[in-house]
């Protein structure tokens, strides 16, 4: 199973403000930066409960693919048209269960979830888009790791708005040797 991250981060490495706020991200008028093409390659999303709660505040549900929310609490609010399921377990159990159900490419989202899947060696691809802003403090993209994670640079591209997007393969991840093509 392939598990990928596609995330925006401030230049100082945060994916959200301390309160989860995303007001520093570019608006809808920002140029296309490969998100739709990336979404075409995945067949399900895995996100943490905090990320799910933030996405609920966006208004219209933004995903047409199944979303698995890692939580021990029931999902009491399900947006119209959303395909949602609560799951619990460690990252290896989650991947195994979803692979058994026929999913082949997961989009892993949310700081704690990304960090847990990365520590478990289950993220093969990282696409990080640096937003030209310093927010000073917030939720870090990467937390502590038990050892260095070696990355193989695949590509970097820049955008007129100042976004800088880099794609990496996580060298030691299970299945990383099978990742040979760029996402864009």
pLDDT higher than threshold 80 for residue 112: yes
Specify the range with the lowest mean pLDDT, choosing from 16-20, 119-123, 178-182.
178-182
10 Å Cβ neighbour count for 1?
Answer: 15
Q: What does the alpha-carbon distance between residue 176 and residue 180 come to, in Å, rounded to a whole number?
A: 9
pLDDT at 81: 87
Architecture of domain 2-26+42-143: 3-Layer(aba) Sandwich (3.40)
Q: Kindly state the tokens that stand for 59.
A: 């208004």
pLDDT at 165: 96
What is the pLDDT confidence band of residue 30, given thresholds at 50, 70 and 90? confident
Query: Mean per-residue pLDDT for 37-63?
Result: 92
pLDDT higher than threshold 80 for residue 67: yes
pLDDT one-digit tens code per residue, 117-133: 999 999 999 999 999 99
| Domain range list for the chain | 2-26+42-143
Q: What does the alpha-carbon distance between residue 47 and residue 68 come to, in Å, rounded to a whole number?
A: 6
pLDDT at 176: 63
pLDDT at 178: 61
Q: Residue 169 — φ and ψ, nearest 5°?
A: -105, 135
pLDDT at 184: 47
Only one residue has tokens 């691809």, namely 125
**45, 171 Cβ separation under 8 angstroms:** no
Q: What is the dihedral of CA 118, 68, 53, 22, to 10 degrees?
A: 50
């Amino acid at each position: 199973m392939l598990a990928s991250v596609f995330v925006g981060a401030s230049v100082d490495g945060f994916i959200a403000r301390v309160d989860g706020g995303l007001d520093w991200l570019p608006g809808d008028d920002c140029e296309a930066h490969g998100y739709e093409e990336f979404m075409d390659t995945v067949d399900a999303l895995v996100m943490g409960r905090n990320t799910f709660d933030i996405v609920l505040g966006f208004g219209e549900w933004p995903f047409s693919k199944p979303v698995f929310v890692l939580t021990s609490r029931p999902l009491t609010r399900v947006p119209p048209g959303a395909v949602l399921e609560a799951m619990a377990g460690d990252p290896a159990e989650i991947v195994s269960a979803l692979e058994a159900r026929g999913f082949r490419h997961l989009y892993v989202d949310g700081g704690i979830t990304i960090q847990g899947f990365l520590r478990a060696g289950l993220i093969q691809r990282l696409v990080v888009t640096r937003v030209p802003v310093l927010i000073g403090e917030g939720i870090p993209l990467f937390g502590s790791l038990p050892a260095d994670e070696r990355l193989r640079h695949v590509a970097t591209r820049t955008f007129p708005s100042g976004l800088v997007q880099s794609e990496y393969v996580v060298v030691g991840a299970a299945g990383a040797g099978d990742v040979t093509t760029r996402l864009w």
